């Protein structure tokens, strides 16, 4: 006979603020705290499923709206949850950088990022109920370990904001600093490949940093990602300098047309988490061969099944697949690791911000060894919530309204006002 | 703690011959018996998972080879099973008709049809073990009923072969006969949409049959499928006659280029189960917009997950999705129904030969009502094997070696030799 499957009776949404180091990117600098939303699907059988997503107010509002529709559904209704609230999508912000480094922002992308956390939480609850890991519910792992890259950022030694948490990583503002940071990542988790977040300093400086990494770590796969911040001439110049040195350039330019032109003229493989972040963006981008590698992100695509769907589309079109990361905690890292373990064509190390996060709301933090994580084999995601930490980080959220929206640009403006720093040019304005 | 998942200890492969009516198609006529292969995955916990696929010798040989690799795997290793035996694919037969009306035949297509049965059997065993229906393991059903079309064939009243089973359907050899057959399908299972297998008589006769159906069943979705048997001028002529009358034409011509041309010049929606039946065929066909609707078939694509992967690719490319059928029994019908229930973008009634099969190896045959099936909610596929029937149909297989390969052409040759029948022309050889 059929097991009665748990039914969702309540959805707890807990916005939190987590400490974040002063990491630099095209838009500015990470604020001392960044918002995340922790989702708990409570079921009639007492099982609670966990999910995690963006915590900015637009996401939080949408989560509260959609949470009402979850109540009464069985946790097995994964396909239904992915479609909750689907409607005509409207453009919110066409500027990639301003909309959080994820390409143009639409109402449907916000919806998908919300349902991704619900879907992950449903998978977690279903796995716990059935006594199987989430990867079993995705067809079973095809690898026992998932490789991650060491995600390097230019960074300041400390936030200029005053009384905020310090971090142990120190400053990294030139090639030597980036190599030193990579060595710390090697000690920290044995990372064997490195990604540098670029778009911060002049391209020549970033090229020099990548070349310094190549010299310091011969044979290590390397990537450079300026979040679409370069002009076409700049991107072509960087491509010329780094062909054969990076495994791919990530979003060197911001438009489909310029990306296609960069690849056509340079031949360098291009990856993206900005011009292909939703189904509607697949065909126009693939048709122009504007990318060769798509960076999946279950938060962007609407969950773990949607991530597998993207992987299938990439297989059909001969596109490579890797995985994007934004600031996240252990629930999302578990979800990323489960789905990554089940996708046959994930041929690159995944990105993760996780080593930068000093705080987590799970009881046992993940530890990287040899640049990889063991795929959890416990029921569900295999992680548990630390309710005390959750309460403390939520309390921080209630007391710091100014930090509730991630805004790297605002943080930089504040910093500049205080420290009178001036930033380098990102681009040559004419062809070099 | 994690449940120990059942491990495959044995794979029983039982080739059978099932009775089949004298249905006509482009290649010839169905023989009195057609081969199928029944798969039983035996596990250490005593659970047996069921699968079904093509039974011709090439499939049977490959199944015996790959079955050895299954032993020792947990039944949850769905993703691994789908990849068993993957190797460089080689062309076996480029002629669609000769290779069984499924487009060009390759070694990998045979492999995929074999692993599809293994994958379905693994899903069945996993579902039985966990106490959940297969659709739950595919993310949950998004509909409670799956619609099927009434699959009409031109047919003879009886096989010309002599002492073989009769069928209750009678002859259908002209428009009146096809309409009468459709009325029987309406009585039989309440089918609300109809597909006619064409490529048998002159196109004008088949156009007349479709128009007769449209008159007899106003508003019913209709389809005509000559299995790629028409020339480009013929296909264009049929498209002109049937635009607005059929919901789509299925494989009017045999090549990607001609299909693209038919759609470009006529605008009629085209479906296929011949030019897109594997991942490698997706991109070249979609790039030319040679099809608008892909007919999925879990036997072709390598299982239920692969079917969902195809559905995802179709979503990304704005292609419609429907479902193809070849002669099959209740295990495959259950598998088709489970996966169809979970695919959001399955907007057309599925095809099935099932009403034509008078024999089945499951204990309780499926019954269509209002042209649809209830999605099974019992654990696994929700069907049980009738071991007596299986033994009897296998015994038939052992005693009738001449029937072990499906060969509609040979059957027609034999029939023609006996009844001196002559067939009509399929094509206008010049533009009409």
Tens of pLDDT, residues A183-195: 999 998 999 999 9
Cβ pairs A/B, distance under 8 A: 110
Alpha carbon of B427: minimum distance to chain A alpha carbons (Å): 34
CB contact under 8 A, B312 and A315: no
Decide if A342 touches B, using CB distance below 8 A: yes
Residues of A in contact with B378 (CB under 8 A): 1-2
- Shortest alpha-carbon distance between residue B335 and chain A (Å): 16
Tell me the C-alpha to C-alpha distance, in Å, between residue B140 and each of A48, A280, B120, B347. Answer: 19, 24, 16, 17
A57 pLDDT higher than 50: yes
| Cβ-based contacts of A78 with chain B (< 8 Å) | 139-140
CB A425, CB A202: distance < 8 Å: yes
| Closest approach of A332 to chain B, Cα-based (Å) | 19
Which residues in A lie closer than 8 A to residue B138 (C-beta atoms)? 79
Residue listed under structure tokens 């109920």: A129
Per residue in B205-217, pLDDT (tens digit) is: 999 999 999 999 9
Binning pLDDT at 50, 70 and 90, where does residue B387 land? very high
To probe the interface with B, which of A85, A140, A291, A298 has the most B CB atoms within 10 Å?
A: A140
Q: Do B136 and A315 touch (CB under 8 A)?
A: no
Task: Read off the pTM.
Answer: 0.95
Q: Does B312 touch chain A (CB under 8 A)?
A: yes
Q: Which of B383, B298, B378, B269 is nearest to B334 (CA)?
A: B383
Q: What is the mean pLDDT of residues A375-404?
A: 97
**Confidence at residue B16, expressed as pLDDT on a 0 to 100 scale:** 98
Nearest Cα residue in chain B from A75: B140
CATH topology of domain B8-134+386-414: Enolase-like; domain 1 (3.30.390)
pLDDT at residue number A427: 56
Is the pLDDT confidence value at B429 over 90? no
Q: Does A352 touch chain B (CB under 8 A)?
A: no
Q: Which residues of B touch A308 (CB under 8 A)?
A: 309, 312
Mutate to test the interface with B, among A45, A77, A115, A136 (most CBs of B within 10 A): A136
Interface of B with A in 16-75 (CB under 8 A): 74
Identify the closest residue of chain A to B133 by CA–CA distance: A2
Going by pLDDT thresholds of 50, 70 and 90, the confidence category of residue A163 is: confident
- What pLDDT score was predicted for residue A165? 82
Cα angle value B321/B201/B418 (rounded, 5°): 120
Give the mean model confidence (pLDDT) for residues B379-402.
97
Summary count for chain A: helices (H), strands (E): 14, 14
- Cβ separation of B142 and A313 shorter than 8 Å? no
**Interchain contact A7–B (C-beta under 8 A):** no
Q: What is the pLDDT at residue A424?
A: 47
The residue among B88 and A427 whose pLDDT is bigger is: B88
Q: Answer yes or no: is pLDDT of B368 > 80.
A: yes
B-chain residue closest to A304, CA distance: B139
Interchain CB contact of B139 with A (< 8 Å) = yes
Question: Which residue of chain B has the CA closest to A342?
Answer: B79
Average pLDDT over residues A129-157: 98
Q: Nearest CA to CA, how far is B49 from chain A (Å)?
A: 16
pLDDT at A27 over 80: yes
What pLDDT does residue A426 have?
53
The set of catalytic residues of A is 197, 324
pLDDT one-digit tens code per residue, B220-262: 999 999 999 999 999 999 999 999 999 999 999 999 999 999 9
Number of helical (H) and strand (E) elements in chain B, helices listed first? 14, 14
Partner residue opposite B139 with nearest CB, options A1, A79, A317: A79
| DSSP letters spanning B217-279 | STT--EEEE-TT-S-HHHHHHHHHHHBTTBSEEE--SSSHHHHHHHHHHH---EEESSS-SSG
Which of helix, strand or coil describes residue A160?
coil
CA distance A161 to B10: 66
Query: A208: which residues sit within 8 A by CB, 6+ positions away?
Result: A175
B289 reaches A (C-beta below 8 A): no
- Beta carbons of B130 and A3 less than 8 Å apart: yes
* A133 vs B contacts (CB less than 8 Å): 2
Is pLDDT above 80 for A421? no
Strands of B75-190 (E only): list them: 91-93, 105-106, 145-147, 150-153
DSSP state of A143: -
- What digits encode the pLDDT tens for the residues B63-76? 999 999 999 999 99
Residue B94's pLDDT band, with cuts at 50, 70 and 90, is confident
Chain A hits for B133, Cβ within 8 Å: 2
- Say yes or no to pLDDT of A277 above 50: yes
Residue B141 sits at the chain A interface (C-beta within 8 Å): yes
Tell me the torsion sign for CA atoms A49, A52, A57, A62.
Answer: negative
Of the candidates A118, A124, A55, the one whose C-alpha atom is nearest the C-alpha of residue A82 is: A118
Residue ranges covered by each domain of chain B: 8-134+386-414, 140-374
3-state secondary structure A272-294: ECCCCCCHHHHHHHHHCCCCCEE
What is the pLDDT, as a whole number, of residue B171?
96
User: ∠ CA(B254), CA(A318), CA(A264), 5° rounding?
Assistant: 110
- HSE at residue B346, side-chain half, CA atoms within 13 A, is 29
Chain A partners within 8 Å of B139 (Cβ): 78-79, 82, 305
Which residues in B lie closer than 8 A to residue A80 (C-beta atoms)?
A: 140, 142
d(CA B299, CA A48): 38
Tokens read off for A160: 């200029």
Neighbours of A425 (CB within 10 A): 10
Residue A423 has pLDDT above 50, yes or no: no
For residue B2, is pLDDT > 80?
no
Q: Which of residues 151-210 of B touch A (CB under 8 A)?
A: none
pLDDT, greater one: A417 or B31: B31
Confidence of residue B4 (pLDDT cuts 50, 70, 90): confident
Of the residues B128, B135, B155, B197, which is catalytic? B197
pLDDT for residue A404 is more than 50: yes
Whether the CB-CB separation of B239 and B264 falls below 8 Å is answered with: no
CA distances from A383 to A128, A139, A338, A376 (A): 11, 20, 12, 9
Q: What is the mean pLDDT of chain A?
A: 93
Q: Residue B355 pLDDT more than 80?
A: yes
- Mean pLDDT, range B397-426, rounded to an integer: 76
- Chain A residues close to B126, C-beta within 8 Å: 136
CA distance A227 to A259: 12
Do B315 and A305 make contact, defined as CB atoms within 8 angstroms? no
What gap in Å lies between CA A63 and CA A78, rounded to an integer?
Answer: 16
Question: Which is nearest to A106 in space by CA: A116, A96, A120?
Answer: A96
Query: What's the rounded mean pLDDT across residues A320-343?
Result: 97
Q: Does A132 touch chain B (CB under 8 A)?
A: yes
B189 CB-near residues (< 8 Å, 6+ apart): B148, B150, B355, B367, B368, B369, B371
By CB atoms closer than 10 A (0-12, 13-18, 19+), residue A118 is buried
CB A76 to CB B315 under 8 A? Answer: no
User: Considering Cα of B227, then B229, then B232, then B233, what sign does the dihedral take?
Assistant: negative
Please list every residue in chain A whose beta carbon sits closer than 8 Å to the beta carbon of residue B315. Answer: 279, 309
Residues of B in contact with A140 (CB under 8 A): 74, 76-80
All residues at 6 or more sequence positions from B387 whose CB lies less than 8 Å from its CB, including other chains: none
A379 touches chain B (CB under 8 A): yes
pLDDT of residue B3: 58
pLDDT > 50? residue B1: no
Q: What is the mean pLDDT of residues A128-137?
A: 98
Which of B314, B279, B174, B216 minimizes the C-alpha distance to A279?
B314
Contact (CB<8Å) B140/A74: yes
- CATH code of domain B140-374: 3.20.20.120
Predicted confidence band of residue A71 (pLDDT cuts 50, 70, 90): very high
Which pLDDT band holds residue A3 (cuts at 50, 70, 90)? low
Query: B406 falls in which pLDDT band (50, 70, 90)?
Result: confident
> Looking at the complex, does the CB of residue B344 fall below 8 Å from at least one CB of chain A?
yes
pLDDT in tens, A338-375: 999 999 999 999 999 999 999 999 999 999 999 999 99
Strands (E), A204-253: 222-225, 248-250
Q: Do A141 and B79 touch (CB under 8 A)?
A: yes
Q: Chain B within 8 Å of A243 (Cβ-Cβ)?
A: no
**With an 8 Å Cβ cutoff, is A76 touching chain B?**
yes
Q: A378 vs B2: CB contact, 8 Å cut-off?
A: yes
Query: pLDDT value at position B416?
Result: 75
Beta carbons of B310 and A312 less than 8 Å apart: yes
d(CA B63, CA B41): 12
Q: Say how many C-beta atoms besides its own lie within 10 A of residue A103's C-beta.
A: 26
What's phi and psi for A18, nearest 5 deg? -115, 145
Q: In what order do the strands lie in the sheet with A48-54?
A: A8-19, A33-43, A48-54
Give the Cα-Cα-Cα angle A325, A327, A331 (nearest 5 degrees). 85
Average pLDDT score over residue span B156-184: 93
Query: For residue A311, what pLDDT band results from cuts at 50, 70 and 90?
Result: very high
Q: Tell whether B79 is within 8 A of chain A (Cβ).
A: yes
pLDDT of residue A429: 41
What is the tens place of the pLDDT at every residue in B316-339? Answer: 999 999 999 999 999 999 999 999
Look at B283 and A141 and tell me if their CB atoms are within 8 Å. Answer: no
Q: Which residues 215-234 of chain A have a CB within 8 Å of chain B?
A: none
Least confident span in B94-108, B288-302, B414-428: B414-428
pLDDT confidence of residue A94: 83
Percent of chain A with pLDDT over 90: 85
Would you give the DSSP letter of residue A167? -
Beta carbons of A247 and A221 less than 8 angstroms apart: yes
């Amino acid at each position: 006979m059929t097991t009665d499957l748990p039914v969702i009776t309540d959805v707890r949404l807990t916005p939190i603020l987590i400490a974040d180091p002063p990491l630099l990117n095209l838009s500015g600098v990470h604020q001392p705290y960044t918002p995340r939303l922790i989702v708990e699907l409570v079921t009639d059988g007492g099982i609670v499923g966990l999910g995690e997503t963006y915590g900015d107010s637009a996401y939080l509002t949408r989560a509260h709206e959609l949470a009402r529709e979850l109540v009464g559904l069985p946790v097995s209704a994964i396909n239904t949850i992915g479609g909750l609230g689907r409607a005509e999508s409207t453009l919110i912000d066409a500027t990639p950088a301003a909309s959080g480094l994820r390409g143009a922002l639409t109402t449907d992308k916000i919806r998908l990022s919300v349902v991704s956390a619900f879907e992950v939480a449903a998978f977690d609850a279903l796995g716990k109920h059935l006594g199987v890991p989430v990867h079993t519910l995705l067809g079973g792992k095809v690898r026992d370990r998932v490789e991650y890259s060491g995600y390097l950022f230019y960074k300041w030694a400390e936030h200029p904001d005053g009384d905020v948490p310090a971090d142990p990583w120190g400053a990294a503002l030139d090639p030597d600093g980036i190599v030193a940071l990579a060595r710390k990542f090697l000690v920290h988790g044995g990372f064997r490949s490195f990604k540098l977040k670029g778009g911060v300093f002049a391209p020549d400086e970033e090229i020099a940093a990548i070349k310094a990494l190549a010299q310091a770590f011969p044979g290590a796969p390397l990537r450079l990602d300026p979040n679409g911040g370069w002009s076409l001439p700049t991107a072509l110049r960087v491509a010329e300098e780094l062909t054969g040195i990076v495994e791919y350039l990530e979003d060197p330019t911001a438009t489909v047309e310029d990306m296609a032109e960069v690849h056509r003229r340079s031949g360098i493989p291009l990856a993206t988490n900005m011009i292909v972040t939703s189904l509607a963006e697949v065909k126009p981008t693939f048709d122009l061969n504007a990318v060769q590698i798509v960076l999946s992100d279950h938060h962007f695509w609407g969950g773990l099944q949607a991530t597998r769907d993207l992987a299938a589309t990439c297989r059909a079109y001969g596109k490579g697949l890797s995985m994007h990361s934004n600031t996240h905690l252990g629930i999302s890292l578990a979800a990323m690791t489960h789905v990554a373990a089940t996708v046959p064509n994930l041929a690159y190390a995944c990105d993760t911000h996780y080593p930068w996060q000093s705080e987590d709301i799970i009881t046992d933090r993940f530890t990287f060894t040899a640049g990889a994580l063991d795929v959890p084999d416990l029921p569900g995601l295999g992680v548990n919530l630390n309710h005390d930490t959750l309460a403390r980080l939520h309390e921080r959220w209630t007391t710091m309204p100014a930090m509730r929206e991630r805004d790297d640009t605002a943080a930089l403006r504040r910093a500049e006002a205080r420290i009178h720093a001036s930033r380098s040019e990102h681009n040559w304005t004419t062809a070099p």
